[in-house]
Amino acid sequence: MKKTLTFLVVMLLGWNIVISIQLYRVSTDKSSNQIQTTTTQGNVQQARVEINNDVTELVQKCENKVVTVTATLRNRSIGSGSGAIYRVDGKDVYIITNNHVVSDGDGAIVTFANGKEIKAEIKGLDEVMDLALLKVTVDFDAEAFTMADSSLVKKGEYVIAMGSPLGIEYQGSVSGGLISGVDRHMEVDTDNNGVADFDVSVLQTDAAINPGNSGGPLINMAGELIGINSMKISAEEVEGFGFALPINEVLPVITQLEKEGKVIRPILGISVQEIAQLTSFERSYFDIDKDIDSGLYIMKVTSGSPASKSGIKSGDVLVKFDGKACTDFKTFRTLLYSKNVGDEATLTINRSGKEKEIKVTLE
């Protein structure tokens, strides 16, 4: 009996030692990953955890490719936005931003992620697409974004926006979200007369885009530039409605700005009025056929223009452009600007109640 009790006591002592060793190891492992801070409330443990994931690595990869653009007028700051490094040629750095970021000034200053501020040359502006190209010469190594193919962007794809919302003090801010829609169209009024002049294709995202983000990059998870953040819908009942110009639409404009300093778009040489906007008196005065309820009434044809050379006359009604209905001026301008100088377009016109097709070479 005594031998049995002695054996049990020895076993219990051994088991107690094993448990004590295990508890000590667990305690040691936890303490290696924690800071113990004593407060009036007792001991507070703070974990030493360093988070690294795909997004943090993406931000580190891209942040030096994003700049702040400050517009100046007579050497005074009048506003700021963001920009994306588009191309690097030796020490010359080319930066994309929005036209509205710099158009009200006579100069611009670019601030890089390393804090360097450099006066920029404005290579060209395009009011129609709201784009501008800047050039600066640097004394350090700069890196440009890889341009994506924005036609491959999918709804639901995760993206980040980078820039300087509300000013340079928030330079390098990052917001993230999804592509909410592709191939959206926003109306653009270039002359601020309250009437839309044409539609521009945009990517819709719920990534936060605030004043100051304009001109900055919208970036996919491969670190590629898929768009230039340009606008948002601001209303009390609206949240997360931002828009970026797809890079496929941006690059042809930027290429022309770099080469020509401006974008050369085709002209047709006609002045028009929407049929739907004419009063019954005006329809009668212009002798417009009663069966025509849509289209563009051609008020004037410029002498020597492509329209004049092809035989289009005042009083004709433009019904279709390359087979697509022209019900308003916005649609007509959008279709016209989708063409290049030298392209041929087929116009369907109604003349004296009869439709005919006329081919025009745009200039």
- Give 34: exposed, middle or buried? Use CB within 10 Å, 0-12, 13-18, 19+: middle
Let me know whether 133 and 164 are in one domain: no
What is the model's pTM?
0.78
Let me know whether 150 and 246 are in one domain: yes
CATH number of residue 297's parent domain: 2.30.42.10
Q: In angstroms, rounded to a whole number, what is the distance separating the alpha carbons of residues 301 and 299?
A: 7
Neighbours of 177 (CB within 10 A): 17
The residue from 82, 173, 175, 214 that is catalytic is: 214
pLDDT score of 238 more than 70: no
Q: In angstroms, rounded to a whole number, what is the distance separating the alpha carbons of residues 79 and 270?
A: 38
Q: Given 109, 137, 165, which residue is the final one in a domain?
A: 137
- Indicate whether 35 belongs to any domain: no
Scored b (16 or more CB within 10 A) or e, 299-325 reads eebeeebbbbebebeebbbbbbbeeee
Residue pair 105/69 in contact (Cβ under 8 Å)? The answer is: no
Clarify whether 130 is annotated catalytic: yes
Clarify whether 308 is annotated catalytic: no
Let me know whether 173 and 249 are in one domain: yes
Lookup result for tokens 């917001």: 175
Q: Given 111, 137, 163, which residue is the final one in a domain?
A: 137
DSSP secondary structure string for all residues of 119-180: EEEEEEEETTTTEEEEEEE-SS---PPEE--GGG--TT-EEEEEE-TTSGGGTTEEEEEEEE
Q: Given 137, 164, 179, which residue is the final one in a domain?
A: 137
Residue 337 confidence (pLDDT)? 87
The residue from 80, 82, 126, 130 that is catalytic is: 130
Let me know whether 298 and 356 are in one domain: yes
Let me know whether 202 and 297 are in one domain: no
CATH number of residue 90's parent domain: 2.40.10.10
Let me know whether 165 and 250 are in one domain: yes
Q: Helices in 239-354 by DSSP H: which ranges? A: 247-260, 280-285, 306-309, 329-337
Let me know whether 278 and 229 are in one domain: no
Domain count, the chain: 3
Let me know whether 288 and 184 are in one domain: no
Residue range 305-361, pLDDT digits in tens: 999 999 999 999 999 999 999 988 888 888 998 888 999 999 999 998 889 999 999
- Indicate whether 28 belongs to any domain: no
The residue from 80, 82, 100, 197 that is catalytic is: 100
Share of the chain above pLDDT 90, in %: 58
Residue span of the structural domain in which 132 resides: 63-137
Let me know whether 168 and 248 are in one domain: yes
Clarify whether 201 is annotated catalytic: no
Which one has a higher pLDDT value, 234 or 133?
133
